[in-house]
Amino acid sequence: MLRNSRIRFLTTNINKKGGCISVRKPRVVVLGGGYGGLITVSRLQKLVGVNEADITLVNKNDYHYETTWLHEASAGTLHHDKARYQIKDVIDNSRVNFVKNTVVAINKDEKKIVLENSELHYDYLVVALGSQPETFGIKGLKEYAFGITNINSSRQLREHIEYQFATYNTEEVKRDERLTIVVGGAGFTGIEFLGELANRVPQLCKEYDIDNKKVRIVCVEAAPTALPGFDPELVDYAVNHLQRKGVDFMIGTAIKECTEKGIIVAKDDQMEEIKADTVVWAAGVRGNNVVEEAGFENMRGRVKVDEFLRAPGHDDVYIIGDCSLVINEEINRPYPPTAQIAMQQGETCAKNLSVSIREQGEMSGFKPEIKGAVASLGEHDAVGVVFGKKLVGSKASFMKKMIDNRALYMVGGAPLVIKKGKFNIL
Amino acid sequence: MLRNSRIRFLTTNINKKGGCISVRKPRVVVLGGGYGGLITVSRLQKLVGVNEADITLVNKNDYHYETTWLHEASAGTLHHDKARYQIKDVIDNSRVNFVKNTVVAINKDEKKIVLENSELHYDYLVVALGSQPETFGIKGLKEYAFGITNINSSRQLREHIEYQFATYNTEEVKRDERLTIVVGGAGFTGIEFLGELANRVPQLCKEYDIDNKKVRIVCVEAAPTALPGFDPELVDYAVNHLQRKGVDFMIGTAIKECTEKGIIVAKDDQMEEIKADTVVWAAGVRGNNVVEEAGFENMRGRVKVDEFLRAPGHDDVYIIGDCSLVINEEINRPYPPTAQIAMQQGETCAKNLSVSIREQGEMSGFKPEIKGAVASLGEHDAVGVVFGKKLVGSKASFMKKMIDNRALYMVGGAPLVIKKGKFNIL
């Protein structure tokens, strides 16, 4: 069987001494060095031998970042370097060819990846390109709102907020909207960012000689509750905690428009303008537009994959992470895109790839094993469910840090946990 | 004589039990908690007894800042809190009444100070309000250029530069002018700021994943040399040092206009636009507009004081520091305004005030004792003359730090040096 597999990738090499037929190894190309892509590569490099496959990982940056830690980097409570690490430090560089480049297009008919200034051919493709912000067509959000999207956007947001505080006292006529921060969305990212922001604001006030009372933090959420999908008791805990720290909630309120001056919201047909020099959009993600443009059947950039994580009709294309759609059959709705699922998919994907490459063994069906979800509320508080148990306060916060450390461990083992882990435990 | 002095400030207090005449102590009001004002107060509180005078110090902020350290705070190489200290920590609060307020006007005929929301009457006044930026009417500088003027402006400039670096990589089309910094003026402040900036830029590049080569620092100076007034050998050393660190000098080049996009310069009738998102104006200061508006004879807010540091025709008004003008008779030109002179004036002013208050003793004529001048070129390099000796490199840098520490010692003694002093000596 192993020989069979190789025969599929026969190629002709002609050297000066004469023609000869050599066997070409299958080329596996993994797009994206996020949770899904990195786990796939780190598992695959162990599962298949050096003679069995060529593995190439393509990523826009030479680093991986912890998407689920960006709310901290954005608020400035954790340095962004703590939330990223070099990809070359966690892959086997003798086994994996790392290409730092941006994916422009997937040509699935020619089995080709178009990069910014080169091309790559694949026999097996793993699409793990992650998500993009979804603005639902709300006017002005793309132009005026900041995002908690990646390292670049997070440190820009951190510096933008700091610049507003730094400028406040330089102006003769004080503009209080410099100190108003609107967060669009009370979902996971929005709530976690608010928790960090509430801790960061007093530091900024001290740094720039500003009265805390001048600062206003407003969270606008269109849904009828914060943290939709969470247990109501946990939602109450989170909202009360943030309110006590000075966050105003406008629940059941939709952002109609974002302008240079702030936002316009609507509730029960009442329109209101909130002047704010900082608007953060944290209310939704979609799959990657490259997936859409490649012509896979998709819903907002997410592809409903088969049980083996392959794109329907494309047995050579695996799609995992935020670009994939997996249905939770218990409630007949998609699982929300999380790091947890992406990493589990990476494990399954690597196993199934090795079966495909060897044409041997049995493919594994993917079934998410949801261990829980914990939303942090700043450094020492959180709410969540872990193994079916509701947790709040320092216990939840402890679990959250263990979850964060586990993500590091999954990719880089103990050395990475020691280097980047969270040990600020009360 | 002491009694005579008191009789001058007789006042009538009428209480319920009947009229009585009481003796009022002379009121000394010191405007400004900079180098001159603070030294005046710290000396005066020792020179005159508690029954001899009421001393009031008025300052905009509750802190003093080291004007001569602001280039570091502006570049971000020294935290602004290291460059300031609380005024209440260095004055005798049982002797001096500290008023945190902004001086709006001096009414010398009514011997009255108008503050933002109150008034103060004085018998003796010390004007030590410091300098303001002089833009020489160059269009757009006030609107678009940053200044190294005070704590507020310095931390705003620091954050502005950092925000440009933080934003660079978030934009699909890279705008290199985000990383272009123009410094107007190669005088003392300009050169010292460039020295810090040249050290700061590599740190910013590392923080924000930017290639050092993308950054451009340009210094534009209208005069035919950098550091006018300095020994040519020292000027060469400074310019070469900064050029090696990547600073472009445009000497003998005038800034014609500052716009939202950068500056327009002219040399030999050739006009050129330099696109830059950061323009820093460090090319000149003038006295305080309050001094001008009070009707003292002045040249750009600076009053040519008599030998005892009093405003001509106003024996009750002392003017010291950057608002005063003292002629260097050797060259028949004014001494440049420096912290060194301001502090020496503060000493003389306090002595003369005590003579005035007591109507006893002899007034001291002021004669600056110029010990030297050292311009820093970053943390470990400098150029200057100390006690007539030319110094460059680490020796000059050491002397610069000793000068900085001495300023702390003059006001707050050893405890302040320990708290805020510079001990980062190679």
Closest residue in B to A170 (Cα) is B152
Task: Assess B293–A contact: CB distance below 8 Å, yes or no.
Answer: no
Strand locations in B41-160, DSSP E? 54-59, 63-65, 84-86, 96-100, 103-107, 112-115, 119-121, 124-127, 132-133, 146-147
Are B379 and B373 contacting, i.e. CB atoms less than 8 angstroms apart? Answer: no
Percent of chain A with pLDDT over 70: 95
Give, in degrees to the nearest 5, the angle at Cα A250 between A249 and A252: 130
Are A20 and A117 contacting, i.e. CB atoms less than 8 angstroms apart? Answer: no
Query: Strand order in B119-121's β-sheet?
Result: B103-107, B112-115, B119-121
Of the candidates B196, B207, B163, which has an alpha carbon nearest to the alpha carbon of residue B78? Answer: B196
Is B126 in a helix, a strand, or coil?
Answer: strand
pLDDT in tens, A319-357: 999 999 999 999 999 999 999 999 999 999 999 999 999
**B193 CA to chain A: closest CA distance, Å?**
19
Residues 6 or more apart from A316 whose CB is under 8 A from it? A111, A122, A123, A124, A125, A310, A356
Of the candidates B13, B18, B43, which has an alpha carbon nearest to the alpha carbon of residue B28? Answer: B43
pLDDT at residue B2, as a whole number: 42
Within this chain, do residues A342 and A383 fall inside the same structural domain, yes or no?
no
A82 part of a folded domain = no
Of the candidates A12, A130, A158, which has an alpha carbon nearest to the alpha carbon of residue A72? Answer: A158
The Cα-based distances of A233 to A237, A277, A370, A390, A397 in angstroms read: 6, 33, 20, 9, 17
Q: How many interface pairs between A and B have CB atoms less than 8 angstroms apart? A: 40
Residues 6 or more apart from A23 whose CB is under 8 A from it? A6, A7, A9, A10, A11
pLDDT at residue B268, as a whole number: 87
Within this chain, do residues B127 and B172 fall inside the same structural domain, yes or no?
no
pLDDT at residue B3, as a whole number: 43
Residue found under tokens 């002095």: B5
Task: Assess A270–B contact: CB distance below 8 Å, yes or no.
Answer: no
Within this chain, do residues A232 and A168 fall inside the same structural domain, yes or no?
yes
Task: Assess A170–B contact: CB distance below 8 Å, yes or no.
Answer: yes
**What φ, ψ does residue B128 adopt, rounded to 5°?**
-135, 55
A118-123, Cβ contacts within 8 angstroms, sequence gap of 24 or more: A120/A29, A120/A56, A120/A58, A121/A27, A122/A27, A122/A28, A122/A29, A122/A56, A122/A316, A123/A8, A123/A9, A123/A26, A123/A27, A123/A28, A123/A316
Task: Assess B102–A contact: CB distance below 8 Å, yes or no.
Answer: no
CA dihedral of residues A62, A66, A71, A72 (deg, nearest 10): -90
Q: Taking the mean position of all CA atoms in its chain, how far away is CA B394?
A: 25
**Token pair in block for residue A360:** 């041997």
pLDDT at residue B1, as a whole number: 38
Tens digit of pLDDT at every position of chain B (426 positions):
344 444 556 554 444 454 555 678 999 999 999 999 999 999 999 999 999 999 999 999 999 999 999 999 999 999 999 999 999 999 999 999 999 999 999 999 999 999 998 999 999 999 999 999 999 999 999 999 999 999 999 999 999 999 999 999 999 999 999 999 999 999 999 999 999 999 999 999 999 999 999 999 999 999 999 999 899 999 999 999 999 999 999 999 999 999 999 999 998 889 999 999 999 999 989 999 999 999 999 999 999 999 999 999 999 999 999 999 999 999 999 999 999 999 999 999 999 999 999 998 999 999 999 998 999 999 999 999 999 999 999 999 999 999 999 999 999 999 999 999 998 876
Within this chain, do residues A126 and A273 fall inside the same structural domain, yes or no?
no
Question: Mean pLDDT across the stretch A391-398?
Answer: 94
Q: Which residues of A touch B152 (CB under 8 A)?
A: 169-170
A421 part of a folded domain = yes
B67 part of a folded domain = no
Q: Which residues of B touch A152 (CB under 8 A)?
A: 169-170
Q: Which residues of B touch A158 (CB under 8 A)?
A: 166
Within this chain, do residues B299 and B272 fall inside the same structural domain, yes or no?
no
Closest residue in B to A206 (Cα) is B81
Residue that finishes a domain, picked among B284, B310, B337: B284
- Domain extent for B54: 2-9+23-60+101-133+286-370
Query: Strand order in A119-121's β-sheet?
Result: A103-107, A112-115, A119-121
Within this chain, do residues B177 and B219 fall inside the same structural domain, yes or no?
yes
Taking CB atoms and an 8 Å limit, are B159 and A169 in contact across chains? no
Side-chain half-sphere exposure of B302, counting CA atoms within 13 A: 22
Task: Assess B60–A contact: CB distance below 8 Å, yes or no.
Answer: no
CA distance A124 to B310: 87
**B62 CA to chain A: closest CA distance, Å?**
11
Are A91 and A98 contacting, i.e. CB atoms less than 8 angstroms apart? Answer: yes
Taking CB atoms and an 8 Å limit, are B158 and A167 in contact across chains? no
Residue-wise over B264-292: b if at least 16 C-beta within 10 A, else e? bbeeeeeeeebebbbbbbbbbbbbbebbb
Hey, what amino acid is at A97? N
Taking CB atoms and an 8 Å limit, are B169 and A163 in contact across chains? no
Taking CB atoms and an 8 Å limit, are B162 and A160 in contact across chains? no
pLDDT at residue A318, as a whole number: 98
In this structure, the number of other CB atoms found within 10 A of the CB of residue B80 comes to: 24
B353 part of a folded domain = yes
**What φ, ψ does residue A338 adopt, rounded to 5°?**
-135, 160
Are B59 and B138 contacting, i.e. CB atoms less than 8 angstroms apart? Answer: no
pLDDT in tens, B120-141: 999 999 999 999 999 999 999 9
Here the ipTM equals: 0.88
Q: Which residues of B touch A170 (CB under 8 A)?
A: 152-153, 156
Is B412 in a helix, a strand, or coil?
Answer: helix
Within this chain, do residues B170 and B234 fall inside the same structural domain, yes or no?
yes
Within this chain, do residues A203 and A271 fall inside the same structural domain, yes or no?
yes
Are A375 and A382 contacting, i.e. CB atoms less than 8 angstroms apart? Answer: yes
The pLDDT-based confidence of A21 (bands split at 50, 70, 90) is: low
| CATH code, B155 | 3.50.50.60
Task: Assess A159–B contact: CB distance below 8 Å, yes or no.
Answer: yes
pLDDT in tens, A27-53: 999 999 999 999 999 999 999 999 999
Taking CB atoms and an 8 Å limit, are B163 and A169 in contact across chains? no
Within this chain, do residues B124 and B160 fall inside the same structural domain, yes or no?
no
A87 part of a folded domain = no
CA distance B394 to B241: 13
Taking CB atoms and an 8 Å limit, are A159 and B159 in contact across chains? yes
Residue that finishes a domain, picked among B370, B386, B406: B370
Residue that finishes a domain, picked among B339, B354, B370: B370
Taking CB atoms and an 8 Å limit, are B166 and A153 in contact across chains? no
Catalytic residues of A: 192
Residues 6 or more apart from B40 whose CB is under 8 A from it? B30, B126, B128, B318, B320, B346, B349, B350, B353
Strands B262-267 and B254-258: antiparallel
H or E element, residue A258: strand A254-258
Are A124 and A316 contacting, i.e. CB atoms less than 8 angstroms apart? Answer: yes
Q: Looking at B52, B66, B192, B196, which residue is catalytic?
A: B192
B310 part of a folded domain = yes
Q: Which residues of A touch B146 (CB under 8 A)?
A: none
Question: Mean pLDDT across the stretch A354-369?
Answer: 94
- Please, which residues bridge with residue A132 across strands? A286
Within this chain, do residues B247 and B352 fall inside the same structural domain, yes or no?
no
**Token pair in block for residue A179:** 């100190």
Is A130 in a helix, a strand, or coil?
Answer: coil
Does the annotation count B192 as an active-site position? yes
Strands A54-59 and A96-100: parallel
CA distance A177 to A214: 9
Question: Mean pLDDT across the stretch A222-229?
Answer: 94
Is B341 in a helix, a strand, or coil?
Answer: helix
Q: Which residues of A touch B162 (CB under 8 A)?
A: 159, 162-163
Within this chain, do residues B53 and B152 fall inside the same structural domain, yes or no?
no
CA distance B54 to B27: 5
Task: Assess B155–A contact: CB distance below 8 Å, yes or no.
Answer: yes
How many residues in chain A?
426
Residues 6 or more apart from B303 whose CB is under 8 A from it? B127, B287, B291, B296, B297, B311, B312, B319, B323, B324, B325
Give, in degrees to the nearest 5, the angle at Cα B216 between B382 and B189: 35
A8 pLDDT above the threshold of 80: no
pLDDT in tens, A247-303: 999 999 999 999 999 999 998 889 999 999 999 999 989 999 999 999 999 999 999
Total domain count, chain A = 2
- Please, which residues bridge with residue A420 across strands? none
Give, in degrees to the nearest 5, the angle at Cα B163 between B159 and B165: 120
Of the candidates B193, B220, B219, B217, which has an alpha carbon nearest to the alpha carbon of residue B205? Answer: B217
Within this chain, do residues B145 and B280 fall inside the same structural domain, yes or no?
yes
Task: Determine the number of helices (DSSP H) and then strands (DSSP E) in chain B.
Answer: 10, 30
| CATH code, B345 | 3.50.50.100
B14 part of a folded domain = no
Task: Determine the number of helices (DSSP H) and then strands (DSSP E) in chain A.
Answer: 10, 30
CA distance A356 to A364: 11
Of the candidates B391, B90, B122, which has an alpha carbon nearest to the alpha carbon of residue B233? Answer: B391
Residue found under tokens 């608007």: A279
Taking CB atoms and an 8 Å limit, are A159 and B155 in contact across chains? no
pLDDT at residue A13, as a whole number: 46
* Most distant CA pair in chain B, distance: 83
CA distance A105 to A116: 9
B343 part of a folded domain = yes
pLDDT at residue B425, as a whole number: 73
Are B193 and B232 contacting, i.e. CB atoms less than 8 angstroms apart? Answer: no
A360-368, Cβ contacts within 8 angstroms, sequence gap of 24 or more: A360/A1, A360/A2, A360/A5, A363/A308, A364/A308, A365/A307, A365/A308, A366/A305, A366/A307, A366/A308, A366/A309, A366/A326, A368/A326, A368/A328, A368/A335, A368/A340, A368/A341, A368/A344
Helices A393-420 and A35-47: angle between axes, nearest 10 degrees: 50
pLDDT at residue A277, as a whole number: 98
Side-chain half-sphere exposure of A84, counting CA atoms within 13 A: 22
Is B398 in a helix, a strand, or coil?
Answer: helix
CA distance A392 to A136: 32
Side-chain half-sphere exposure of A248, counting CA atoms within 13 A: 11
